[in-house]
């Protein structure tokens, strides 16, 4: 599982780092999490979800070069179709999450970089709504800005939902997680 974001304290708490924040929260939920360790262009750690081993990765290449980290994972023997990419989406309202088996880039710089590096967008993804951006907003400025006070109050619930959806995708499979989370968002259907 790869959470997209920008490294460095100046980007902490920005909309573009929602992927990092969700993966950080998931790391705290996993059993036996090994802690974050630098390996090449990523930091990574491992843990377990319902007996399933999960690797968590945060590229250290900045958002617009996320593909370099993704390519490095493929060189290690990972398969793109098995890597859940977790990222911010300005086209979804704050509080929405969507799991997909694949899709386009929607202009997202991290996804664009991955597509450029590996030649496909055929990989699963978890979109975390951080929008909508105001119609007059400059998108780079919007995603690199901190969440406002009202948004920060909702952020723990949003990240909790995203981390739980990612956990479900790893533990139960993407299909089950999509059925559970895509219909009801932060209030998943109970089985």
- Residue ranges of the annotated binding site for tRNA are 11, 62, 64
Among candidate residues 15, 16, 44, 65, the one labeled active-site is 16
Residue with tokens 């479900």: 168
β-strand pairing of 2-3 with 85-93:
parallel
CA distance 19 to 22: 5
Give the burial class of 47: count Cβ atoms within 10 A of its Cβ; 0-12 exposed, 13-18 middle, 19 or more buried: buried
CA distance 186 to 16: 20
**108 catalytically annotated:** no
Query: How many residues make up the chain in this entry?
Result: 191
Give the CA distances from residue 87 to residues 44, 50, 137, 190, 191, in Å, rounded to whole numbers and listed in that order: 16, 24, 20, 25, 27
CA distance 64 to 144: 12
CA distance 189 to 167: 15
Q: Which residues are catalytic?
A: 16
């Amino acid at each position: 599982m790869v959470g997209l974001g920008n490294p460095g304290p100046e980007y902490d708490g920005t909309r573009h780092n929602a992927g990092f924040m969700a993966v950080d929260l998931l790391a705290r939920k996993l059993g036996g999490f090994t802690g974050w360790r630098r390996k090449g262009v990523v930091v990574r750690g491992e843990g377990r979800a319902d007996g399933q081993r999960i690797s968590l990765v945060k590229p250290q290449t900045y958002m617009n070069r996320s593909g370099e980290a993704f390519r490095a994972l493929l060189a290690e023997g990972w398969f793109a179709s098995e890597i859940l990419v977790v990222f911010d989406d300005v086209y979804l309202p704050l509080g929405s999450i969507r799991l997909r088996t694949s899709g386009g880039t929607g202009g997202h710089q991290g996804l664009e970089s991955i597509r450029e590096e590996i030649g496909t967008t055929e990989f699963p993804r978890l979109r975390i709504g951080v929008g909508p951006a105001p119609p007059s907003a400059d998108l780079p400025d919007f995603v690199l800005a901190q969440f406002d006070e009202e948004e920060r109050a909702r952020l723990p619930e949003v990240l909790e939902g995203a981390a739980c959806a990612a956990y479900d995708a790893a533990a139960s499979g993407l299909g089950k997680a999509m059925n559970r989370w895509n219909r009801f968002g932060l209030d998943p259907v109970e089985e």
